[in-house]
Amino acid sequence: MNLQDNVSVIKGVGEKKKKLLHNMNVDTIDDLLHIFPRKYEDRRNISYIMEAPFDTETLIKGKVTARQMGRNPYRRNNPLKIKIQDESAGLEVIFFNGRYLANYFSIGAEYTFYGKISLNNGKRQMIHPEFHRLGDKDDIRGILPVYPLTEGITQANMRKLQREAIAAADYTGEWLPDTIVARHNLCSPSYALKNIHFPIDERNIREARFRMIFEELLILETGLSYIKKGASERSGGVRIEEHISVDEFIASLPFELTDGQKKVWQEIQSDLASPKAMNRLVQGDVGSGKTVVAQLAMYKTVKSGYQAVMMAPTELLAKQHYNSMKKDFEPLGLKVDLLCSSLKSKEKQQVIQDLETGETDILVGTHAIIQPDVSFKNLGIVITDEQHRFGVQQRNILAEKGDHPNILVMTATPIPRTLAVILYGDLDISIIDTKPHGRLPIKTYLRYEASRKDIYDFVSEKIREGRQAYVVAPLIEDSDSINCHSAQWVYEWLKKKYPDINTGLVHGGMKQDEKDRVMEDFAAGKIDLLVATVVIEVGIDVANATVMVIENSERFGLAQLHQLRGRVGRGIHQSYCILLSGSEGKIAEERNKILCSSDDGFVIAEEDLKMRGPGEIFGTRQHGLPELNISDLVRHGEILEAAKKESESILNEDAMLESEKYKVLRTKIKKMFGENIRLNL
């Protein structure tokens, strides 16, 4: 079968399986073969029970000597317990809810079990192992792949599909230039595919994975370099005269700039004065005051006769920026406008028209502003807020609406400098490393379910004092499979227990205008207590809110907890963050200690990295990059660098990727970046 054939050519894949696979983004045989194992099970050798290590997956075999079904009528999941014995020792196998298996195991017969052995009161135990009758057709001796799955497809289904695809696929030959293959000692594509799924030994896995990681990173880097090249062809650049003063704007601010803000503003000013277009990333922790720095740049640009635009990832944030810019800039004679998709088409028409004629000085908006029908008279600066929420290409599309405008991108996600250089390459980096003066550090506490009432009594006391509060929960609605409180549940519970408090609810399942209404009411003080999902994570700024309660805090990553906590502590009152953990334990304590001991996003990100490994925190989504399948930008940093070098020489040789030689690479880039890339093909 051809790699581009639909998966339905595999025997046993009907309409239903096809749909399920589609949910995993699998349509073709090639897609299927690119679902790589998460890990492997080593079932090559059977261990003696006596010698098998504890708490690691192991394969054992044994003869069943006893079998007992629990009979407690008051227990829902009566366990099935089986005693087995090999030449070395005995062990008990337990299946909770095991009634359906009671007749599978016969006394005296031999079975293999794959699972972890633990010790319970001095007795060896295996809970819920995988099992086979010794020697039956599925009792495999070998290395077995373990795949990521979707509901409705079992591990056995997936292994079978992969086996069939591997056996019948027409593999494409080598598509990378020989020089690259030789330089990096890559195995062939067909060897890589076969061995990543069904390896014989560890060496096969290593070689196959290396090829796949290299491939993926090469495709990523070539795509990124291609996009960047497009960006750097726009040199030239808008130049802003140095003598233009921003003093009136600074004087109109109700506060003094912090040292960090001043330093970054200096860096931006020298970029603006240079004939080369500015390309700068401003990193600053939540609450460090990035917006005002962006406003300075906008103000100076507008005073030089240009227009300025700021793009934000959510409508909520765009509206908030719009409102504060209107307040700050209109008294100084600037016209500020808002463009987002919820505007009525007539309003939209007006906004677009004023923009074209140059009547509007500053435009704030969402993705709506990169649409083709939006054009500027004289665009001088492009700012993207919370850059990590945007695709790499979107910033460029926006920039193309002007003649080499200056570019400023802002993010609160701390990225180690080495990684930033690879990801953003052409960007200069500024860091706001201070917090506004006079802020009291946020007090952070870890509490458990038993303190629920005390916590909310405390919240209601603060509300009585005139403050506002947030409660964040991990889910929108209760779920059978996930055991934690949902925003809906917390909201109803609070309404019942604290009827006097004005409580609101906002979550991602609500319509945009409903969400906006609730958020606006909260900002206006009409709602005192806002129950939310993480939709409030980005950018919200309500200085009167001083308490943040995080329900089931164990379900959030450290960096995310830090972002959420950053929603309070923005005013003059003492603020509090209460982590209400659903599970007690070392990890909860550990994470709490880190959060309590630091309010520095960089430090917390470092700690997060240590605790969780790089894979999760540097997820590519956070940086607006395409989803990666097998590689990890941090763990595979060296391969990334090698791939970057190769990608540069590829583009030097063939800037448009037009030659036959790079045809496959070109298709693969298109596939990885999807809508996010316009290869002129």
Q: Which residue ranges make up the site for ligand ADP (CB under 6 A)?
A: 255-258, 261, 284, 286-292, 412, 436, 541, 543, 570
Residue from 35, 207, 61 nearest 126 by CA: 61
Our CB check for ligand ADP shows the closer of 288 and 406 to be 288
Q: Where are the beta strands (DSSP E) in 403-512?
A: 406-411, 428-432, 443-448, 468-472, 503-506
Our CB check for Mg ion shows the closer of 98 and 539 to be 539
Q: Output the smallest distance, CB 522 to ligand ADP, in A.
A: 15
Q: Are 571 and 546 in contact (CB under 8 A)?
A: yes
Q: Are strands 130-133 and 110-120 parallel, antiparallel or unpaired?
A: antiparallel
**How are the residues of the chain apportioned to helix, strand and coil, as percentages rounded to the nearest 5?**
45, 20, 40
Our CB check for ligand ADP shows the closer of 389 and 570 to be 570
- The DSSP element (H or E) to which 601 belongs, if any, is helix 601-612
Residue from 287, 308, 288, 293 nearest 246 by CA: 293
d(CA 262, CA 257) in angstroms, rounded, equals: 6
Residue from 470, 328, 302, 488 nearest 381 by CA: 302
Our CB check for ligand ADP shows the closer of 234 and 262 to be 262
Q: Output the smallest distance, CB 99 to Mg ion, in A.
A: 56
Q: Are 607 and 592 in contact (CB under 8 A)?
A: no
Q: Output the smallest distance, CB 263 to ligand ADP, in A.
A: 12
Our CB check for ligand ADP shows the closer of 224 and 432 to be 432
Residue type for 388, please?
H
**Entry field: residues in the chain:** 681
Our CB check for ligand ADP shows the closer of 53 and 525 to be 525
DSSP code at position 383: E
d(CA 450, CA 93) in angstroms, rounded, equals: 35
Q: Sort 272 into a burial class: Cβ within 10 Å, 0-12 / 13-18 / 19+.
A: buried
Q: Taking CB within 5 to 8 Å according to partner kind, which of Mg ion, ligand ADP, none is near residue 292?
A: ligand ADP
DSSP code at position 198: S
Q: Sort 247 into a burial class: Cβ within 10 Å, 0-12 / 13-18 / 19+.
A: exposed
Please state, as a whole number, how many other Cβ atoms lie within 10 Å of the Cβ of residue 482.
11
Q: Taking CB within 5 to 8 Å according to partner kind, which of ligand ADP, Mg ion, none is near residue 48?
A: none
Q: Which residue is nearest to ligand ADP (CB)?
A: 289
Q: Which residue is nearest to Mg ion (CB)?
A: 539
Q: Output the smallest distance, CB 223 to ligand ADP, in A.
A: 30
Q: Taking CB within 5 to 8 Å according to partner kind, which of Mg ion, ligand ADP, none is near residue 573?
A: none
Which residues in this chain contact Mg ion in the complex, by CB under 5 A?
A: 539
Q: Taking CB within 5 to 8 Å according to partner kind, which of Mg ion, ligand ADP, none is near residue 570?
A: ligand ADP
Q: Are 391 and 672 in contact (CB under 8 A)?
A: no
Q: Output the smallest distance, CB 324 to Mg ion, in A.
A: 11
Q: Taking CB within 5 to 8 Å according to partner kind, which of ligand ADP, Mg ion, none is near residue 619?
A: none
Q: Output the smallest distance, CB 368 to Mg ion, in A.
A: 19
Q: Taking CB within 5 to 8 Å according to partner kind, which of Mg ion, ligand ADP, none is near residue 543?
A: ligand ADP
Q: Output the smallest distance, CB 550 to ligand ADP, in A.
A: 18
Our CB check for ligand ADP shows the closer of 260 and 624 to be 260
CB-based contacts of 409: which residues, under 8 Å, 6+ apart? 280, 281, 282, 383, 384, 387, 395, 427
Q: Output the smallest distance, CB 259 to ligand ADP, in A.
A: 9
Our CB check for ligand ADP shows the closer of 432 and 475 to be 432
Q: How big is the chain by its Cα radius of gyration, in Å?
A: 29
Q: Output the smallest distance, CB 383 to ligand ADP, in A.
A: 12
Our CB check for Mg ion shows the closer of 303 and 388 to be 388
Task: For residue 199, report the phi and psi dihedrals to the nearest 5 degrees.
Answer: -75, 155
Q: Output the smallest distance, CB 293 to ligand ADP, in A.
A: 8
Our CB check for ligand ADP shows the closer of 358 and 436 to be 436
